[in-house]
Structure 1
Amino acid sequence: MEPYVRNLWYVAAWEDEVPEGGMLPRTLLDEPRLLYRLADGSYAALADRCPHRFAPLSRGKRDGDRIVCGYHGLEFGADGGCVRNPFSDLIPPNTQVSSWPAEARWGAVWVWPGDAEAADPALIPDFSFIDAGPPIVRGRTHMRANYEFITDNLMDLSHAEFLHIETFATNGALFNGEHSATQDDSGAIWSNWRMPDTPPRPFATALVPDGGRVDQWLEMRWHAPASMALFIGVAHAGSERQAMVVPAMANPHIITPETATSSHYFFTREPGEASEAMAKQVFDAEDGPMLEAIQQAMLGRDFWAERPVILSVDAAAIRARRRLMQLRRSEAPAPIEVAA
């Protein structure tokens, strides 16, 4: 069965990763792709392979909005069609490069690897909060793990009590918290932790009177395939989220498959060296090694075939996995009926 749902929007890159006047090669959903910005500010996402002798187009060059193959000079437009054969006025039939619809939203380049006619930009999840607050830095890390394992990790934040003891310092708050898994009218799945009347975490201690208590919440929103947003809040206890201790925080956690066993992880952080060090610790020293170890331990076996133990805190992650299963089935080819 096709491992990826095709008729969805995936983040291919942050816009500032795409070099001005240049090209960005990146493997997405097991396919080498070539991203570049057109003169009008829009984007193209071509297969990174010339149909002539299969040379990577990323080894060629730009000529305006055209890509020139570095091997024999065939030129391709942003729609993937060949527009010039330097050896003849004749362009051979089927001299076409696959092109995915691409849209810029919230500082990211989103691509649609499925039916181009179904690529509605209105279906791109809302990440407008990225630019609504103070300045941020857009980041990307690489994990040698399947995107659904990373989704499991993000939709069940209870692991913070064990894997992020120093970085997140939840100090047992999740053990006394209340977890729920819900789905809203947009189809988004939510994994919500509410921790009422708890001691403040270290970063907020100085902002709460001695002995003061706070209400805390962590709310993770998931849109298929793996576009997640984390909303964090800390308010004075009993204030119904009105007396905020610190401004509410929101962060994107968007995962795009590179291959079946590796993923691109797009996130944002505050500017500065301390924030950069924190991100490296959380993603590269804590989450990353654990998820990569899980990937290796699976030995290529199917998740469900291994009969995983399900805990109550897994509810939202399991909903997300089941939703992807439904979407895969909806895209599967209809069985061929054989006449008797």
Structure 2
Amino acid sequence: MSDYVRNLWYLAAWDHEVPEGGMLSRTLLDETWVIARLSDGAYAMLADRCPHRFVPLSRGRLEEDVIHCPYHGLGFDRTGACVHNPFPAPPPAHVRARTMPVVHRHRGLWFWPGDPEQADPALIPDFAFVDRAGMQRSRLVIQGHYELVTDNLMDLTHAEFLHVTSFGVNGSIFSGRQSVATDESGAIWNNWDMEAVTPPSWAAPMLGEGERVDQSLHMRWHAPAAMALTVGLARAGTGRADLVVPQMVNPHIITPETRTSSHYFYDHEASPEAEALARQVFVEEDEPMIEAAQAALAGQDFWAARPAILETDAGAIRARRRLMQLRRAEAGMSEAAE
């Protein structure tokens, strides 16, 4: 059974990562693809391997919306068809580059690695909030399986141990209330709500001495690993109406690079301080633990390792089980087709 669910939308890149009139090569789900920004504002996504002698098309050039292979000069259009032959013969009709559906939405490029007939853009999760002023969209590669990264995000209790200096949550989650639910869109929500707790250290200067807050951490998950975190902070006893800071919403979107590494797409305020803080949280604090978990598993299946399950794991486990159901359904459809 495949490690990946194919009939889903994955994020390949933020739109600014593909230069105007240029190309971006990226490994996604164990294969390398080239994404081209075309003259009409659309994008094309082709396997980054010429079907003739297998060199990367991304080493070639994009000219008038045709990608020209650097080795023998064959040119491929957005559909993968060979439309240019530099030699005195028609373009060979039997030569095609593989393609995938790609849609530009929410400042990102979303691709569908499954049956193209099922690639409905309406199924792309709602990340409309990403398109806002004053924010910088970033990406890094985490050396860990994408479900281990999801586990980390869907159980924010680790913030009390890993993010003491960066988030300064001050023990509020220990007295919080967790709820896990699935909404009408199929999203799984893992919510923490804390009432009359000590404020995080970064918010203390905005409050009076000894003042308490009502805090919320709500994580939304869409398969395979597209998450959005909403953080709320209000003065205690105001019914969450008197906000200390405006509600904060950020994307945490994970796309497998390989079976042991993951693209992590996120955003932050467009300042060097905010960029440094994000890297501290993800690279210096989260990633070493994810890497350590993966090293300890040493290739063993997560469930075969018989993990201990805690109540606080409810959101992460529900997401894992949902992916398992989707993988089994696709495997069953494949077997039926054979």
Q: Shared fold by TM > 0.5?
A: yes
**Residue 181 (structure 1) shift:** 1.1
Residue 321 of structure 2 aligns with an amino acid whose one-letter code is R
Q: Secondary structure at the match of 1:99?
A: coil
| Structure 1 equivalent of residue 141 of structure 2 | 142
CA 1:304–1:22 in 2, change beyond 3 Å: closer, same or farther? Answer: same
Q: What stretches of structure 1 move > 4 A for 4+ residues in a row?
A: none
| Structure 2 equivalent of residue 279 of structure 1 | 278
| Structure 1 equivalent of residue 56 of structure 2 | 56
**Residue 334 (structure 1) shift:** 4.6
Contact 2:191 2:216 in 1 (8 A): yes
Asked whether 1:80 is paired with 2:80, we answer yes
For the residues of structure 2 that align with 1:99 and 1:228, how far apart are their CA atoms?
Answer: 26
Give matches, 1:188-267, under 5 Å. 188-267=187-266
* Structure 1: gaps spanning 5 or more residues: none
CA 1:222–1:337 in 2, change beyond 3 Å: closer, same or farther? Answer: closer
For the residues of structure 1 that align with 2:79 and 2:335, how far apart are their CA atoms?
Answer: 32
For the residues of structure 1 that align with 2:88 and 2:237, how far apart are their CA atoms?
Answer: 77
**Residue 337 (structure 1) shift:** 11
Give matches, 1:124-163, under 5 Å. 124-132=124-132, 134-163=133-162
For the residues of structure 2 that align with 1:34 and 1:336, how far apart are their CA atoms?
Answer: 32
| Structure 1 equivalent of residue 297 of structure 2 | 298
| Structure 2 equivalent of residue 328 of structure 1 | 327
CA 1:37–1:272 in 2, change beyond 3 Å: closer, same or farther? Answer: same
Q: Secondary structure at the match of 2:202?
A: helix
> How many matched pairs?
337
| Structure 2 equivalent of residue 117 of structure 1 | 117
Q: Deviations over 1:37-69 (max 9, x none)?
A: 111111111000011111110111111110000
Q: Percent identity?
A: 58
Residue 59 of structure 2 aligns with an amino acid whose one-letter code is R
Contact 2:168 2:202 in 1 (8 A): no
For the residues of structure 2 that align with 1:209 and 1:150, how far apart are their CA atoms?
Answer: 37
For the residues of structure 1 that align with 2:68 and 2:174, how far apart are their CA atoms?
Answer: 58
| Structure 1 equivalent of residue 26 of structure 2 | 26
For the residues of structure 2 that align with 1:135 and 1:158, how far apart are their CA atoms?
Answer: 29
For the residues of structure 2 that align with 1:25 and 1:86, how far apart are their CA atoms?
Answer: 24
**Residue 273 (structure 1) shift:** 1.4
CA 1:78–1:337 in 2, change beyond 3 Å: closer, same or farther? Answer: closer
**Residue 74 (structure 1) shift:** 0.7
Contact 2:6 2:112 in 1 (8 A): yes
For the residues of structure 2 that align with 1:222 and 1:85, how far apart are their CA atoms?
Answer: 46
Greater displacement, 149-158 / 119-128: 119-128
Q: Secondary structure at the match of 2:304?
A: helix
Q: Taking structure 1 as the reference length, what is the TM-score of the superposition?
A: 0.96
For the residues of structure 2 that align with 1:52 and 1:235, how far apart are their CA atoms?
Answer: 61
For the residues of structure 1 that align with 2:304 and 2:68, how far apart are their CA atoms?
Answer: 46
Residue 207 of structure 2 aligns with an amino acid whose one-letter code is V
**Residue 242 (structure 1) shift:** 1.0
**Residue 207 (structure 1) shift:** 2.1
| Structure 2 equivalent of residue 38 of structure 1 | 38
Q: Secondary structure at the match of 2:22?
A: coil
Q: Taking structure 2 as the reference length, what is the TM-score of the superposition?
A: 0.97
Residue 62 of structure 1 aligns with an amino acid whose one-letter code is L
**Residue 116 (structure 1) shift:** 1.0
Q: Secondary structure at the match of 2:296?
A: helix
Q: Secondary structure at the match of 1:306?
A: coil
Residue 235 of structure 1 aligns with an amino acid whose one-letter code is A
* Structure 2: gaps spanning 5 or more residues: none
Q: Secondary structure at the match of 1:12?
A: strand
For the residues of structure 1 that align with 2:94 and 2:149, how far apart are their CA atoms?
Answer: 39
For the residues of structure 1 that align with 2:88 and 2:79, how far apart are their CA atoms?
Answer: 21
Q: Secondary structure at the match of 1:263?
A: strand
What do you get for the CA RMSD once the two structures are aligned? 1.4
